Amino acid sequence: MSGGLDEALCTLAFCWRIARRDGVTIGLTSHDRDLEIGGLIYRAAPGMTPAAVRSGITLDGEDSDVAGALSSEAISEADLMAGRWDGAALELRVTQWEAPGALWLVLARGEMGAVSRKGQEFSAELVGAAAILGAPVAPSTSPDCRARLGDRACRVDMAGRRRIVAVEDAEGAEVAVAGLAAGAYAFGAVRWMTGRNAGLTQAVLDNDASGLTLADAPAFAVEPGTLALLTEGCDRQAATCGARFGNIVNFRGEPFLPGMDLLTRYPGA
C-alpha cells in the first residue's frame, strides 16, 4: 500500500472523509481539483491541512488536529457552531493525485472533538480510538440511576415512548406543541426532522400540556409546522423508576447507600 512513497518524486494529496452523526458524509482533499475515490467525491479544499500525525505502538492514541477554511459549500460556520459536526467520524488518508485510490494509506482516524474558530478559519481536534482507555474502569456509586432510559442497562421498551409532533410556535427555548402529557418529556430529547435544524438533537428540561422547555434555544429559527421527534425522559430517581416505568429491578443506582455526610452526623442532629 505504501510503495508509492518510495518514488523519487511523490504526487501526494491528503484526503479527509467526514461522516456526521445525521448520516451526511463529505470528502475533502488538499489537492487543487476534485478527486473521486470509492464512489465519494473529495472536493478540492487546498486550505485543509493536518497537524503532525503521530503513530506508534504506544497507548497515546492518534490525537491530532485538522485545520481549514470555513466554506459555505463544505463546512459552514453556522453548521459548525450549531454542533452538526460534533462527534463526526473522521478519517485522514493520503493518495497520489495522478492515480486517486491506487495509494490509499490511512494516517489517522477517530472522531471530531473540540472545535474552535478564528475569523474564517476553524480547527478541529481529532480524538483517536485510544481515548476510550481514559474512561473509568468501574462506575462510581451514586443515588441516581447511571443508565439512560431505554439503553441496554435500563431495558425499558421505548417503542411507545417516542412520537412525532408538529411545532405550533417557538420563541427562544420555549416550543409550543399541543397534546402533551405533562412531565412525560422532562429530561428527554427532541430531534428536529424538518426545517433548518433538521438532524440536530436537543435536551428537554421540562414540558407541560402545551409545550416544551429546551435546555438551549434551537440553533436556527423554527417555523410553525416543523416536525420533531420527541423522546420521553427520566429523572433517574428510584421512585420514578418503580412507579412510572415498573423497572426498579434494572435500577442502576444505590439510593440507600450512606454518603459522606454520614461522617458529620451526631446524636440529636
Residue 136's pLDDT is what? 73
pLDDT at 4: 57
Q: Are residues 90 and 171 in the same domain?
A: no
pLDDT of residue 57: 42
- Domain range enclosing 36: 3-131
pLDDT at position 61, please? 44
The tally of CA atoms less than 13 A away on the side-chain side of residue 258 is: 6
- The answer to whether residue 59 is domain-embedded is yes
In terms of domains, do 66 and 184 share one? no
For residue 250, being part of any structural domain is answered with: no
Per-residue pLDDT in tens (0 to 9) along the chain, 269 residues: 455 566 655 688 889 898 988 888 999 888 889 999 999 999 888 766 665 555 444 444 455 566 555 554 677 778 888 888 888 888 889 999 888 988 899 887 888 877 777 666 677 777 766 666 666 777 788 899 999 999 999 999 999 999 999 999 999 999 999 999 999 999 999 999 999 999 999 999 999 999 999 999 999 999 999 999 999 999 999 999 999 999 999 999 999 887 666 666 666 65
What is the DSSP annotation of the chain? --GGGGSSS--EEEEEEEE-TTS-EEEEESSSS-EEETTEEEEE-TT-EE-PPP-SSSTTTT-EEEEEE--SSSS-HHHHHHTTTTT-EEEEEEEETTSBTTB-EEEEEEEEEEEEEETTEEEEEEE-GGGGGGS-SSPPP-SS--SPTTSTTT----TTSEEEEE--EEETTEEE-SSPPTTTTTT-EEEE-SSTTTT-EEEEEEEETTEEEESS--SS---TT-EEEEE------HHHHHHTTS-GGG--S-TTS--GGGGG--TT-
pLDDT score, position 148: 94
Sign of the CA dihedral running 136, 142, 145, 148: negative
**Which CATH number fits the domain that encloses residue 203?**
2.40.10.170
Distance CA 166, CA 224 (A): 8
Q: All 3 cell numbers of residue 236?
A: 433517574
pLDDT of 126 reads 73
Q: How many CB atoms lie within 10 A of CB 29?
A: 24
CATH value at residue 34: 2.30.110
Asked if residue 94 lies in contact with residue 14, where contact means CB atoms within 8 angstroms, the answer is yes
Supply the pLDDT for residue 63: 53
Q: Are residues 127 and 167 in the same domain?
A: no
Task: Tell whether 123 is covered by a domain.
Answer: yes
